[in-house]
């Protein structure tokens, strides 16, 4: 059974809060919904008036690239099921969580960000066929999966990408939902540009936040991008002063994106900066 932790403002009387669904990191083999950075962000966003959910997803043993593909696919299915869970409760349930289902954002840190990016931009079975056979995809339950609440929507309004990556940058297309990304340009685990993911074992080559933002600009998808110059992987995940400073920047930049995306008018609190280095978008032909 997959579970989530739900956060909302204390004594809340609103009946339609925007929802942020976050997924933890851990290379798809570890981590939980109670990881420090997930709890911190959920509590902080609840204090700002959002409803938040920190989810668990199925973990595996991706000791090679083939198993890693399966692990990502399962996590994507599980996050989509969490979106459907809230849609079901809102539309045909008891409205326990009082969610505005037109304002559901997904995000996460590291593996969780990889998951959220694929929830939003991996939207064709033929894209997944680049990595696995149609028969294998069918066995896994297709893009939507069998994690629960079928027939309800898994569409989202935007993505919060913290040190994540996409398998293929070209899966983002014109008309896709907007995103906000923060990533260290010295990240050795999930590369800032294109590179091999390496959490201790070399795995897949993925297109990092620098590539994704460049593609967003090319196809006119709204993208807010902040570079942590010289920073390693997930520099905001800690309780020391440096980590907390990175987290403060992260919270401000993400909140500015959410406020803007929802059409609200507030003065931005964290300006974007220039991406580091150059990016080369390799030739890509959509399926």
Residues with Cβ < 8 Å from 169, sequence gap 6 or more? Answer: 194, 207, 211, 212, 214, 215, 281, 284
pLDDT of residue 62: 64
pLDDT of residue 64: 74
- In angstroms, the CA 198 to CA 207 distance is 13
pLDDT of residue 93: 84
Query: For residue 169, what is the DSSP state?
Result: G
Query: Is this structure's pTM higher than 0.85?
Result: yes
Left if phi > 0, otherwise alpha if psi is -120 to 50, otherwise beta: which for 31?
Answer: left
Angle, helix 36-47 to helix 241-261, in steps of 10 degrees: 50
Query: For residue 146, what is the DSSP state?
Result: S
pLDDT of residue 261: 96
Query: For residue 2, what is the DSSP state?
Result: -
In the β-sheet with 51-55, what is the strand arrangement from edge to edge? 4-7, 51-55, 17-23, 99-109, 158-162, 179-184, 223-228
Digits of tens for pLDDT over the chain (287 positions)?
A: 899 999 999 998 999 999 999 999 999 999 999 999 999 999 999 999 999 999 999 998 766 777 888 899 999 999 999 999 999 999 888 999 999 999 999 999 999 999 999 999 999 888 988 888 889 888 888 889 999 999 999 999 999 999 999 999 999 999 999 999 999 999 999 999 999 999 988 888 999 999 999 999 999 999 999 999 999 999 999 999 999 999 999 999 999 999 999 999 889 999 999 999 999 899 998 88
- In angstroms, the CA 72 to CA 100 distance is 27
Cα dist. 43→8, 19, 139 in Å? Answer: 8, 13, 37
């Amino acid at each position: 059974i997959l579970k989530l932790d739900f956060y909302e403002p204390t004594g809340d009387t609103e009946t339609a809060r925007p929802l942020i669904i976050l997924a933890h990191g851990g290379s798809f083999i570890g981590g939980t919904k109670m990881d420090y950075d997930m709890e911190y962000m959920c509590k902080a966003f609840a204090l700002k008036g959002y409803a938040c959910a920190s989810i668990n997803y199925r973990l595996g043993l991706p000791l090679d690239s083939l198993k890693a593909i399966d692990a990502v696919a399962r996590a994507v299915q599980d996050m989509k099921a969490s979106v459907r869970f809230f849609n079901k409760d809102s539309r045909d349930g008891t409205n326990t969580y009082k969610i505005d289902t037109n304002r559901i954002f997904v995000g996460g840190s590291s593996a969780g960000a990889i998951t959220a990016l694929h929830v939003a931009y991996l939207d064709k079975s033929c894209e997944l066929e680049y990595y696995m056979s149609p028969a294998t995809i069918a066995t896994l339950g297709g893009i939507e999966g069998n994690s629960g609440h079928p027939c309800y929507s898994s569409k989202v309004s935007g993505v919060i990408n913290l040190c994540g990556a996409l398998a293929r940058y070209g899966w983002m297309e014109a008309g896709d939902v907007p995103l906000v990304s923060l990533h260290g340009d010295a990240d050795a685990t999930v590369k800032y540009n294109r590179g091999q993911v390496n959490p201790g074992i070399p795995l897949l080559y993925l297109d990092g936040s620098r590539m994704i933002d460049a593609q967003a600009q090319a196809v006119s998808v709204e993208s807010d991008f902040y570079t942590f110059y010289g920073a390693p992987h997930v520099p905001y995940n800690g309780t020391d002063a440096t980590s907390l400073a990175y987290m403060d920047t992260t919270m401000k930049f993400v909140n500015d994106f959410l406020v803007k995306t929802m059409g609200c008018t507030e003065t931005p609190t964290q300006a974007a900066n220039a991406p580091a280095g150059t990016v080369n978008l390799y030739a890509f032909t959509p399926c």
